[in-house]
Amino acid sequence: MSLSFEQVGFQYRGTSIGVHDVSLSLASGELVALIGPSGSGKTTLLRLTAGLISGHSGRIVLDGRDLSGMPVHERHIGMMFQHYALFPHLTVLENVGYGLKMAGVEAGARRKKSQEMLDLVGLGQLAGRRPAQLSGGQQQRVALARALAYSPQALLLDEPLSALDASIRGQLRDQIRQLQQQFGATTLLVTHDQEEALAMADRIALLDQGRVLQYGTPTELYENPLNETVARFVGLSTICTATVCGEGEIDTGYARLRCDTGARAPGEQVKLLVRPEHIEADPPLFAVNRMEGHVTLNRYLGSFNRYDFMPHGAQQPWLGEARSAPADAIAVAPEHIRLLAA
């Protein structure tokens, strides 16, 4: 089922906080992640879609139906909250079947469907337990089973993994994605975790101050950010100012670097963007864009080192990743330098 936002706007009373002229489209079965700083409008957009808040301008359309003014229970939307919102007095099986009960599904069919969903998320043997008897990861899977139990036309996930330990977050992230694809549920995911968004989403919308700064695939946002704000929010990077010297060359003040300058004129101020995996440690002496200096901070992360390298004359370090931190020089190939507007 397709889901679209057409010039949607909403402000909380007496403030400018909310969303402004948001237009997005989700294809049937697509998972779109909403990311951005706190207060950027991510959860507001989710709650507007669910019908938990109302009074927006523009249209939110699900499978051709304008949701404006429609009661929550008529929207056919499943929602999974950050803290799961399981009923403590109900069993796991009863929690999963709660939405089916509200929809008037007969008790026998409800129990059968709920058990099938629990089996699907690997918790069939825990049907008779209470939520307090489950781990955080198990509660998360119960909440997901409940959200999918009545085959919603859209699925809304509000930071579903934020309350979990890092040790199981990756595993459950993959399970959510697999189940979402299996059910073909058109899904809107709110997350503060950029890695989670990159790993799970078909497309990502980056919001800031209620507006969409960029909407595209994870690859597009990471490799071709439209501006510095997007570049800084999606992935790690080195960003510094430079001046175009001429065709194919820029000057950082401490090094002249070769790169694609496009149609930029000599003297134009730009921002240089380099991702850490594109920095070469200890390059050959005559490598293009070689810079000498020293490591100011090194972080051992198991399979690689993430380090800060200060080129001679620089005021800020370059962030790199390599199997071993460099001894005294780095380089970056011209094709891995992206220029943004200053």
Which pLDDT value is given to residue 79? 87
pLDDT confidence bin for 307, thresholds 50/70/90: very high
Which pLDDT value is given to residue 172? 81
CA distance 291 to 293: 7
Enumerate residues 6+ apart whose C-beta is below 8 A from 306. Answer: 236, 276, 298, 299, 319, 320, 321
pLDDT confidence bin for 135, thresholds 50/70/90: confident
- Torsion of the alpha carbons at 50, 54, 57 and 59, rounded to the nearest 10: 30
CA distance 103 to 151: 12
pLDDT confidence bin for 149, thresholds 50/70/90: confident
Predicted model pTM: 0.89
Q: Check: CB of residue 69 under 8 Å from CB of residue 53.
A: no
- Which of 164-168, 286-290, 300-304, 338-342 comes out lowest in average pLDDT? 164-168
Q: Check: CB of residue 100 under 8 Å from CB of residue 110.
A: yes
74 to each of 49, 66, 69, 98, 263, how far by Cα in Å?
12, 12, 10, 16, 53
Which pLDDT value is given to residue 32? 98
Which pLDDT value is given to residue 99? 84
Looking at the chain, the domain(s) classified CATH 3.40.50.300 span 1-227
Does residue 148 surpass a pLDDT of 90?
no
Classify domain 1-227 by CATH number: 3.40.50.300
CA distance 274 to 280: 11
pLDDT digits (tens, 9 = 90+) for 179-195: 899 888 999 999 988 88
pLDDT digits (tens, 9 = 90+) for 66-103: 999 899 888 889 888 777 788 999 999 999 998 888 88
| Angle (nearest 5°) at CA 195 between 191 and 199 | 95
DSSP letter, residue 37: S
Which pLDDT value is given to residue 163? 66
DSSP letter, residue 74: G
